[in-house]
Structure 1
Amino acid sequence: MRAVVCDFFGTLTDPGIEAGRREAFAATAALLGVPAEPFWTAMSTSFGERITGRYGHTRAMLRAMAARCGAEPSEAQLDAAAAAHHAASVRLWAPRPGALETLARLRAAGLRIGVLSDCGAELCDGWPATPYAPLVDATVFSWQEGRRKPDPLLYATAAHRLGVEAHECWFVGDGGSREHQGARDAGMRPVLVTNAGYPGAGRFRDDPDPFVPEFTIDDFPQVYRLIAAVKP
């Protein structure tokens, strides 16, 4: 095994922070002049479309979501809402305890590191400034690729960008978007992060994965010990 491909949200990030997503959406809605509940519904039900770029960049996406709620925000409202939405997104990227140190240890052990995430434009734009970027060799973001997990092309792209074969990759994730099924079908070796120490974290997963991998860990930092213990 030559590489580790990681999910981002709820795997590298702090799952406890996900509880703040609804509040963040409410703040964005207020700036758009839209009631919080309809906006939450619009954002939730459009997840698959938003993360594959169907609505364009953040500002255009927010205009489309406001239109779903029957509103036509002004240019100034859109500017303010886009800035607030990006700032709220950045807060959701906070690393879970031990995540950065674990990535560094894996790289020091000679493993290539990839991130494969279902995400919006905000992460694509902000990635270079994150503390993860210097520790990651390749990224595959759904918004840029126009596809979402478990699309097999995403896993193949991750392996290609890492310069390895899919069967030489571990895939580590918390189980949203049927990502482990996709990893298995692509030839990767999947690992489930259960987030057992974060009660309720699973409720934020979109399209939960019915496939449970052979290998499971409760917290991401445990992946180093798992990989070291399992024979290639």
Structure 2
Amino acid sequence: MAAVLFDFSGTLFRIESTESWLRAVLADAELSLPDAEFHLTAQALDRVGALPGGTHPVERIPDELAHVWEIRDKSAELHRAAYTGVARQVPLPDPALYDLLYDRHMTPTAWLPYPDAIDVLRTLRERGIRVGVVSNIGWDLRPVFREHGLDPYVDTYVLSYEHGIQKPDARLFATACAALDVDPRDTLMVGDDRRADGGAAALGCSVHFVDHLPVAERPDGLRAVLDLVG
């Protein structure tokens, strides 16, 4: 393999828990909820899929949001509209909290790298294998990589909202391969979403999947990549 492409959320990084997310925003806004109400609110936000990078919606997406939800990763505006829209199904003590919650998830402190992420990226760099990040996302994730020390090992970022294309569209993977100057047939795509990340196979890339688990539950899920690239 000449290059490895990685997904972001659920692959190299994992977002904080819904409880941590909600608690941080309430604290910053100098608001609070009784314990029982706090836990019920966090569970409700989970069910509607309000936390980007968190759990997928369990409840049906409202009809008025369905189209935006499907194409949410094609622009920053669509991404914000989709996630604040589903969040508004859950009552909160201040209407401003919906946008504040969205803003919180874009901060580096809301994300943690998987324990083996930096070692795997560093080893790939030492082996001369180029690295790209290909993400369905509506905001610039580069500060997250810089804050956590992974940016020096990434050669290119291809973000859906910057191109108006979202995975599994093979054009997004083709853009990454072109930026790295590698043949897709010599490229491995690593991700947690079989539909979205599996789209790289249409281009000729090999594909490897990891489990979208909390950071503490997946200490070495990326190390198999080192064996796959040889």
Gap change, CA 1:167 and 1:195, over 3 Å in 2: same
CA distance in 2, matches of 1:78, 1:27: 13
Gap change, CA 1:138 and 1:110, over 3 Å in 2: same
CA distance in 1, matches of 2:22, 2:180: 38
Aligned residues: 203
Gap change, CA 1:159 and 1:183, over 3 Å in 2: same
TM score, norm. by length of structure 2: 0.67
Letter of the 2:199 counterpart: G
Q: 2:44 touches 2:90 (CA, 8 Å); kept in 1?
A: yes
Q: 1:7 touches 1:116 (CA, 8 Å); kept in 2?
A: yes
Q: 1:55 touches 1:64 (CA, 8 Å); kept in 2?
A: no
Gap change, CA 1:200 and 1:61, over 3 Å in 2: same
- TM-align CA RMSD: 3.9
Alignment of 1:52 onto 2:74: yes
CA distance in 2, matches of 1:124, 1:101: 18
Instruction: Provide the residue aligned with 1:120 in structure 2.
Output: 138
Determine what percentage of the aligned residue pairs are the same residue: 28
CA positional deviation for 1:3: 0.8
Give CA-to-partner distance per residue, 1:100-149, whole Å, 9 cap, x none.
11111111111111111122315255444442211000111123222221
Return 5+ residue gaps in structure 1 as ranges.
202-217
Alignment of 1:91 onto 2:93: no
TM score, norm. by length of structure 1: 0.67
CA positional deviation for 1:10: 2.2
Alignment of 1:172 onto 2:174: no
Alignment of 1:143 onto 2:161: yes
Considering Cα pairs closer than 8 Å and 6+ residues apart, tell me whether 1 or 2 has the greater RCO.
2
CA positional deviation for 1:64: 4.7
The structure with the greater share of residues assigned to helix is 1
Gap change, CA 1:110 and 1:51, over 3 Å in 2: same
CA distance in 1, matches of 2:23, 2:94: 14
Q: 1:42 touches 1:69 (CA, 8 Å); kept in 2?
A: no
